[in-house]
Structure 1
């Protein structure tokens, strides 16, 4: 018997899409022999039906009527992993639990002590009802607060400028009353606000602006400064469950009710007050790191010091911090080096050694990755002359 052919029409440009594909792959490895066809696409590309899409099943972000018509005409079992609901689409829906995510976001921001609340919503999408934002607004209003809802497309874009206007966004951000809690619908929105805040001189969260992303994107989380807090929708499980339901449909099963996959939960970052240290294991690990910045510290040694296995430690860091223990050690060392570079004219070689780097070149590479500058360039940017002594 030939293996079934399954098309995956999910973007490969986001962590969400990649994790869904990984979940499908893992289901196939455990249960079935499928040939998987992946359509490499971006999140906002127009959804066309590939000419090769004539297999035994489809898992897709169903965003447009054309795909619905293709599925109907060819009688292909299809599972939709998108929150979009195209009219008259008789499909199996397997998605993240937006109402639960919105409620968790509200609880998280309410704990910050904010007195004002904002929802920075989704871009305009046909056939989409925002259940995440609705749940967030409802929960915050239950506590007696109003929520200002921002639709980014209407506020920031025009026919001649399809991208966001940073000056206009900065004016809006700096005029917000504080302390304010802001939920963004996705990580792109959070990243955009962090860029704008830095440009406008607003420190998050020190200046009374708490920021939470309504979804997790590993790349944007890693490169954002400060590192954004986010909610993980659990896309791997969405992909796994989508594959399980497609398997059932291809065996003649009937379309069932919508499946809402439970989220993984909050991935703490640096954009919420004290959120980074809320997890006891993470707090203990970070304290141990901070006390040993000047000496070598391996991940196995850190795991031993915190009383867990290396795998447990790495998994917890990935879930809570969106990072790894090794990357966090490097981040803390670079931050310490930056403080020392700001403070005086100590030779860079001494700073490197004091921060656990065995060579100046290692500090240079680490700073280039994290702050985009070498130690000499960073010191110069702070209004100090770079030391010639290495």
Structure 2
């Protein structure tokens, strides 16, 4: 089994020395390049091919929806990686008899009973939508929100799962979650029709409200509807999307916060699995999980929805100075409050102590540095405000459930 290459330099000499000297495998890839998710999968596949190929890849990255696979008899391919955009494509994959790895899709629900049994053994790449919902909920809860809402897409199981996970985590915290009534008819989902219903829904929500949209594209609709309703973002409505599509997030006004997923790693693992399948490993319903890594905070959620001004000021001080060796007494002094009173207010507003908040902010910073850089753990510890690597390791393991290096290995895309 080939593992994700941690810390490898992707320069040409390295690639040249690692390519296996055999005939190139012929692989069809039907994955869109028009979305951040698709591009991430494609980058992971490309990285695997550079390191362990060569592969001859047949693909049309711009037109994949309702697209049929090429005639297998003419093409003589050896394996398939595909987003199943229709029932027909699913049937073609089964009829080809070739090893395949697919991107999870609702299109296979319409297969007949026999085909469904055959499809059960096809490996797939699947988003961890439960973890996405939990991460978004905790992002809003950490910022002191007390009102929450979800905006999804009808007939998409991944959207439904994100909704359920988000709402369940919010209910566990003791709050309610409003759900946008998604238009069921296709014509009602056109923007010129839907903007009125989405605008009215947002206007009627209690404020300030934190809204999770099922993906970045949907989040942009929420932002647009909020502006039409005359609502300020993030002061009235804070919005977070999923997939961290840099282009969509940066073009949004204000810029959109989003949950980054380890998509590229999943693409690499999909290619690695297909290589093993083409070498004889049986298809047995293997699953590759696309997990959320972190929330990339931009303007759309860059706010504290906290009514207690002293607690809000204390949190702001912690975030601005977490890299420095600040202690609880420094936070108390910064807001001119007694330690006992401020501790009580933290427990009331956030249900955690001042020290726990300092540690939480530092751990989030350490997670970001681990993913974004190759710095050794000792340097990561200093950059995140910890006294040394041992201190970081203890708090990190207690909070995240794994070691810093294991976290980096699991979640890095590059």
Same fold (TM > 0.5): yes
C-alpha distance after superposition, 1:55-76 (max 9, x if no partner): 1111111232222221222211
Whole-Å separation in 1 of the counterparts to 2:93 and 2:135? 35
Question: Does the aligned pair in 1 maintain the 2:137–2:169 contact within 8 Å?
Answer: yes
Match of 2:150 in 1: 119
**Partner in structure 1 of residue 68 of structure 2:** 48
Q: 1:27 aligns with which of 20, 34, 48?
A: 48
Determine if the alignment matches structure 1 residue 37 to structure 2 residue 68: no
Tell me how far 1:26 sits from its aligned partner.
0.2
SS of the residue 1:152 aligns to? coil
The count of aligned residue pairs is 283
- Does structure 1 residue 94 correspond to structure 2 residue 125? yes
TM-score (norm 2): 0.62
Deviations, residues 285-308 of structure 1 (Å, cap 9, x unaligned): xxxxxxxxxxxxxxxxxxxxxxxx
Q: Which structure 2 segments of 5+ residues have no match?
A: 1-21, 110-115, 305-315, 325-368, 374-414
Q: TM-score, normalised by structure 1?
A: 0.65
Per the TM alignment, residue 4 of structure 1 is displaced from its structure 2 partner at its CA by 0.7
Q: Check whether the contact 1:184–1:213 (CA below 8 A) recurs between aligned residues.
A: yes
- Structure 2 contact 140–210 (Cα < 8 Å) conserved: yes
What is the match of residue 192 of structure 1?
Answer: 221
Residue 266 of structure 1 pairs with residue 295 of structure 2: yes
Local SS of the residue matching 2:149: strand
8 Å contact 1:63–1:82 — kept in the other structure? no
CA shift, 1:141, in A, is 1.2
| 1:25 Cα deviation from its structure 2 partner | 0.3
Gaps of 5+ in 1: 285-311, 317-390
Question: 2:235 touches 2:303 (CA, 8 Å); kept in 1?
Answer: no
- Tell me, yes or no, if structure 1 residue 136 matches structure 2 residue 158: no
Change (3 A) 1:57 1:273: same
Shift, 1:47, TM fit: 4.1
Alignment-derived partner of residue 89 in structure 2: 67
Cα root mean square deviation, aligned: 3.0
Q: CA deviation at 1:219?
A: 1.2
1:225–1:314 Cα change, 3 Å: farther
The answer to whether the Cα contact below 8 Å between 2:180 and 2:201 also exists between their aligned partners in 1 is no
Alignment of 1:1-390 (within 5 A): 1-41=22-62, 45-51=65-71, 54-84=76-106, 86-87=108-109, 88=116, 89=119, 90-125=121-156, 130-154=160-184, 159=187, 162-163=190-191, 164-207=193-236, 209-256=237-284, 257-274=286-303, 315=372
